[in-house]
Structure 1
Amino acid sequence: MARRQWVRLGMMAGSMALVAAACGSTSTGAAASGSSASQIPANYASYALHTGDTFSWVFPIPNEANYEPWDQNAEYGMYRPLYVAGNGSSPVIDYANSIGQKPVYSNGNKTVTVTLNPWKWSDGAPVTARDVQFFYNLYVANKSQIATYVPGNFPDNVASFKVDSPTQFTLNLKAAVNPLWFTDNELTDVVPLPQQSWDRLSLTGKVGNFDLTTAGAKAVFKFLYAQASKLSTYATNPLWKVVDGPWRLQSYDPTTARTVFQRNNAFSGPDKPKLSGYVLESFSSQTAEVDALRNGSLDYGYLPMSDVKLASTFKSGGYTIAPWATDYVQWAELGYTSKTWGPLVKQLYVRQALQHLINEPLYLSATLHGDGQLTYGPVPNLPGSPYVSAQEKTDPDPYSVSAAKALLAGHGWTTGPHGFLVCASPGTGATQCGANITKGEPLSLKFMYQTGSPTLQAQVEAFATAAKSAGIDMVLDPQSQSTMFSIGGVCPSSGPCNWGIILYRTFLWNYGQGDVLPTGGQMFGTGNYWGGGYSSPTAQALINATHTQPGLQPLYNYENYISTHVAALWFPTWDWQVSVVSDHLHGWNPQQVFGNPVPSRWYF
């Protein structure tokens, strides 16, 4: 009886911490970093990135450390992808604003032909099939360094690239594909690059056709990568002056990451920008961002979840408040490749027990104020989405400390001398701890999470309280976002993951940048960057089926498996933000389904 009372009190304390965090207030007094209304030129709008987010990669081929939606949103404003993902609030391709016309599939879905619309680079040169081939050649020769690459997918599934004419190219594939998948998830990664300007080995060297050989493509990529790493030259480097999108870099502060874009007056595509420019503002704290809203330095900002009570104040001060629901998924990665914690998280029963300790309904109501969705698997549970299976709409592992304890006790764990569970029955039998878990080993996990968000911290602390109630030693390791990227964003490709669980504030996987159709190859396919090294032959076979078989049933089969297999720990998915927008700014609504603010549509 005494132990049961202690558990209940512990959970009450966790719940009260959640409510306290939800009612917390952002203090005043801190000024926005490097931002004031007087620094915004006429007919420029200012937009706030989330706390800790900075634009820091101009080259529109992402590396591991810079494969983030805020980077790609800015890049794609300068360098349009072949196909624009997201059309208003619909998770579909926006063909009207894409360089490529709708692709044509033939030869049993083994041949893809794309015709280009008549776009131009800012130097007057046309955007041609040769520019797409330039991207393709760089990608093929350097794929191991590119964050969007998943073995077996693009470009491994392409047998040949043929330039048919300046405005048309053909891809011959190695096998038949699902056209919806190949268009939505493969071709959206393709970005025509200005071959007539970038196919060189130095800033002063002549432009050639270096990319036509593997050695040349590697040399060109190395040069461009090195130039993109020089943040101090972003605004002056002539490479980045040649763009085909509606914006070009005007200024960049490598210290604060404040980025100013000016209108590309030579932009040849539709949806021409009405503003003269816009500014990306970065903030070191949520306090600074809210204060920038208060003092009128921001046209388009957001309220932290812990400060949504300020909404009425901003409404009366000339702002519109609009939650921004996006087609994302929130999860905590598990360190499958960790030598210390990998053997634990590789056990399905351990993952199921951990999921039982995440009180999603409480987190959603108490810390997110209902601005989000419950998450039960890898496909966004956005209302009305056709991609969510019936099974994934219900929780396979609902919150229950007793269920978690029963799972662990049933697999050979018992309370040790320090009050936490230890393995009493090592081995791989049905009632034993599992492979590579030794006798007496404690059930202890290192949980790295991002600092700077009271909302996230409240969720993490409540989870840790529940874990302790179940006998799990949850060692919390709060870190800044930059530190987390340097540790968590480079494994497992650069070595084992040095954590058991890792959770980012804005780790809402953006299906619009990598996958429009949420088939999961980049997230949970073998060789992924963002699944902690998760690898399952069954999951891979199901993912492969979504690539080759038409219809939605293969997608449902995949998501149901990943959901019940608990490939990651599912947390409630936050709305991208609660937007606070000046009533003087128009054209921003509807807010784009993949979190892209689309500044080309704004106007005062």
Structure 2
Amino acid sequence: MKVFRRRMAPIILVSSVSLGLLSMTGCGSSTTSTPAATVNKPEHGGTIIQALGPLVAINWYLPLRPVAYNSLYDAWAASLMYKGLFHIAPNGTIDFGRSIASAITWNKEGTVYTVKMNPKWKWSNGSPVTAEDVQFTWNLIKAASAPTAPAPWPYAGADSGGVPQLIKSFQVLGTHEFQITLTNPVNQTWFEYNGLGDFIPLPEQAWNRYPNNINLELSYLASNGNNVNFFKVIDGPFRLTSAVQNVSWTFTPNKHYDGHLPYVNKFVLAYQTSETSEVNALKTGGVQVGYLPLSMYSVRSQLPHDTLNTSYSYSIDRTILNFKSPQVGNIFRSLPVRQAMQMGIDQTAIIQSLYNGMGVPGTGPVPLHPRTFLAPQLIKPIYSYDPEKGKQLLEKNGWHLVHGIMTNNAGQQLSFNMQYDSGSSTVLAMVQIMQQDWAKEGIHVSLSPLPFASMLQYHHQPTKWEIQTGLGWSYGGSYPTGGGMYSTGGGYNFYGYSNSKMNSLIAATHSPQPSPADSQKALDAYQMFAAQQLPNLWMPVPQGLGEIENNIHGVRSSANNFTDAISPQYWWVSQ
């Protein structure tokens, strides 16, 4: 799971609220505009430049990420150089033909998982990708998830798939086979996707400088997290050859890649100073793969050489409340306060006025598109926009207006600061709507724009923020349980939400069930409780608008809305 900054028109994204294109992963639903003549045979050569979101930079290239660097864009950079253990297809199934793992089996109790690896995969230096490399990853994850891990750790994925706390042992069975034993039975599908998915093979022989001191090793790797020259031994389709901060990140083909070799000579992820500059780059050809902010949808007619693709990625948008804040955390722990705040968010108005009607309301922790795992009761929000009802709820729970601001008998006020992503004019318009509507309930909110990277950096600094919005959450191909986000102490529960019933319901989604229907029943119970309890505030999700130059091919056909991954090794340029 990853946080993203959506490209909005006004949007945000890993997980953000900007609206627009949630990366190019979502190019594939519907298409408008007349593409160039069909070219059947891929051509080699050329450069493809893809736009990042406004003011979004890539700051971390390691496949293992701390919370502060757990963005979708950091994950893109890593995934171009390092293959995951398995490849998840757009339909949500594992494609072993494109995976390092050739087979995954488990015992009937769901406690022992055996993974066989395809011996064809090699590192760029010619060494085979082995089970020892996966064991190296396991040792890093285990140490990076511990309380004693050095900064900037802990590991962002801690606990999201039962890793590392449920793992009893890791055993290398052979050069290309390993076995993981768990402490207790679990839902096998959940562990396969959310647990084993963390075990990205890393080049142990090249990277393991401190084999007898794992914390020194973690510090060593972190010190090279954004060092381009460190990433020489790779097993993915591209290598990072140049990184100019706040300008561009250039990738060239890994000629020793054992999968589908890239067609292009260069693939570039380009920094954008604003939504307007990105659209101008589309007009001039400075960007070939980009996005159209929803707030600039009227500009579509000025892009005759591009094809527009609309889609939804498998993600949610949310406004995050800081339960750890020494100033206001105890206020946010009051459910009536959270309910009133949710009733004060006019999702319909945001969708209609800011997203040109191209969006869906946020209803809970499971995305509405596709509805594969969605509880049927959550097609619509539990809490409708009703600021008067929200005001009455606050008054019933000990709050009363003093100079226009809700105040309780202890003198506390519903007065907060909300940080938002500064890269999107749509997000700015959205937070202004929220500010005005909350004022109708007696909730005063001041607004602070921040760069996307700064918002992420504050996540483990409880004194630095109270509310954050403009961030999205991508499930990235995982089973949509909330262990990492909403369980007490979860790896991405940096905001300190804690509820014993929530913990139990999440645990039930991780437990073995007698049938798929029973598994869905457990997932429904969790998401219904989360939707009602509001561990964060649910926000509308905009449709992504992707723009692809007509002489660029393979983007739509290789798109994966389920994982939000990109596969530019399949993209090519027609002359």
TM-score normalised by the chain length of structure 1? 0.82
Identify which of 561, 573, 579 aligns with 2:546: 579
Q: Deviations over 1:163-199 (max 9, x none)?
A: 1111110111111111110011111111101112111
After TM superposition, the structure 1 = structure 2 runs for residues 133-282 of structure 1, keeping only pairs within 5 Å, are 133-144=135-146, 145-150=154-159, 153-201=162-210, 210=211, 215-228=212-225, 231=226, 233-234=227-228, 237=229, 239-253=230-244, 255-269=245-259, 271-282=260-271
**Is the CA contact (8 Å cut-off) linking 1:83 and 1:188 kept in structure 2?**
yes
Q: What does residue range 73-472 of structure 1 map to in structure 2 within 5 Å?
A: 73-85=76-88, 87-88=89-90, 90-106=91-107, 108-118=109-119, 119-144=121-146, 145-150=154-159, 153-201=162-210, 210=211, 215-228=212-225, 231=226, 233-234=227-228, 237=229, 239-253=230-244, 255-269=245-259, 271-314=260-303, 316=304, 318-383=305-370, 385-416=371-402, 418-424=403-409, 438=410, 440-472=411-443
Residue 223 of structure 1: how far off its partner (Å)? 1.4
Shift of 1:442: 1.8
> Counterpart of 1:521?
483
What is the alpha-carbon distance in structure 2 between the residues aligned to residue 47 and residue 309 of structure 1?
A: 22
**From 54, 68, 71, the counterpart of 2:71:** 68
How far apart are 1:42 and its partner, in Å? Answer: 5.1
Once the two structures are TM-superposed, the CA of residue 248 in structure 1 deviates from its matched residue by 0.6
Letter in 2 for 1:261: F
Q: Deviations over 1:23-71 (max 9, x none)?
A: xxxxxxxxxxxxxxxxxx9512111111121122111110121101111
Secondary structure of the structure 2 residue equivalent to 1:552: helix
Cα distance in 1 between the residues matched to 2:164 and 2:86: 17
Alpha-carbon shift at residue 152 of structure 1 (Å): 8.7
Deviation of 1:77 (Å): 1.2
SS of residue matched to 1:221: helix
Deviation of 1:257 after TM superposition, in Å, equals: 4.6
Unaligned ranges ≥5, structure 1:
1-16, 19-40, 202-209, 425-437
1:503 aligned partner, one-letter code: T
Structure 1 counterpart of 2:213, one-letter code: G
Q: Which amino acid aligns with 2:570?
A: R
Partner SS for 2:55? coil
* Cα gap change, 1:107 to 1:217, in 2 (>3 Å): farther
Question: Cα distance, 1:572 vs. partner?
Answer: 0.2
User: Residues 262 and 152 (structure 1 numbering): CA distance in 2 closer, same or farther, change over 3 Å?
Assistant: closer
- Contact 2:103-2:117 within 8 A present in 1 as well: no
Moved more, 148-157 or 187-196: 148-157
Q: CA deviation at 1:601?
A: 1.4
Quick one: which amino acid aligns to residue 468 of structure 2?
I
Is the CA contact (8 Å cut-off) linking 1:345 and 1:500 kept in structure 2? no
TM-fit CA distance, 1:127: 0.6
- Give CA deviations for 1:179-220 in whole Å, capped at 9, x if unaligned: 11001111111110111211124xxxxxxxx1xxxx432222
How big is the shift at 1:350?
0.6
Contact 1:83–1:99, Cα closer than 8 Å, also in 2: yes
How far residue 336 of structure 1 moved from its aligned partner, in angstroms, is: 0.5
Distance, in Å, in 2 between the alignment partners of 1:124 and 1:351 is: 55
Kindly state the Cα deviation for residue 531 of structure 1 after the two structures are TM-superposed: 5.5
Q: Deviations over 1:72-119 (max 9, x none)?
A: 11201101111234x23x344343322112410115111000000121
C-alpha distance after superposition, 1:424-448 (max 9, x if no partner): 4xxxxxxxxxxxxx2x322212211
> Partner letter of residue 120 of structure 1?
K
Query: Tell me, what secondary structure is at the counterpart of 2:64?
Result: coil
Mark the structure with the bigger radius of gyration.
1
Determine the structure 1 residue equivalent to 2:28. Answer: none
Distance 1:152 1:285, change over 3 A: closer
Which one-letter code corresponds to 2:110 in the other structure? N
Larger relative strand fraction? 2
- CA–CA distance in 2 between the matches of 1:475 and 1:125? 56
Could you tell me whether the CA contact under 8 Å between 1:84 and 1:188 is conserved in 2?
no
1: distance between equivalents of 2:85 and 2:566? 19
Cα distance in structure 2, aligned partners of 1:200 and 1:412: 59
Cα separation, 1, equivalents of 2:451 and 2:236: 33
Q: Which amino acid aligns with 2:469?
A: L
Partner of 1:35: none
**Cα deviation 1:257-311 (Å, max 9, x = unaligned):** 5111011111012x33222220010112112211211211111011112111111
Name the residue aligned to 1:473.
444
Structure 1 residue ranges, 4+ long, deviating more than 6 angstroms after superposition: none
Aligned twin of 1:49? 52
Q: Tell me which of 453, 457, 460 is aligned to 1:490.
A: 460
Task: Kindly state the Cα deviation for residue 526 of structure 1 after the two structures are TM-superposed.
Answer: 1.4
One-letter amino acid matched to 2:455 = M
Distance 2:272 2:488 in 1: 36
The SS at the match of 2:509 is helix
Instruction: Pick the aligned partner of 2:503 from 534, 540, 564.
Output: 540
Distance in 2 (alpha carbons) for counterparts of 1:564 and 1:222: 41
The structure-2 alpha-carbon separation of the partners of 1:58 and 1:331, relative to structure 1 and needing over 3 Å to count, comes to same
The answer on whether the counterparts of 2:51 and 2:278 sit within 8 Å (CA) in structure 1 is yes
Of residues 473, 478, 497, the one that matches 1:509 is: 473
In the alignment, residue 357 of structure 2 is paired with which amino acid?
G
Identity %: 30
Q: For residue 189 of structure 2, give the secondary structure of its aligned residue in structure 1.
A: helix
User: How far off its partner does 1:567 sit?
Assistant: 1.1
Cα distance in 2 for partners of 1:467, 1:178 equals 41
Structure 1: how far apart are the matches of 2:262 and 2:436? 50
Deviations 1:116-162 (A, max 9, x none): 01211111111111110111112212223211112892122111111
Matched, 1:597 2:566: yes
Q: State the one-letter code of the partner of 2:239.
A: R
| 8 Å CA contact retained: 1:335, 1:497 | no
Tell me how many residue pairs correspond in the alignment: 516
- C-alpha distance in 1 between matches for 2:494 and 2:208: 34
Q: Is 1:569 equivalent to 2:537 in the alignment? A: yes
1:34 maps to which residue?
none
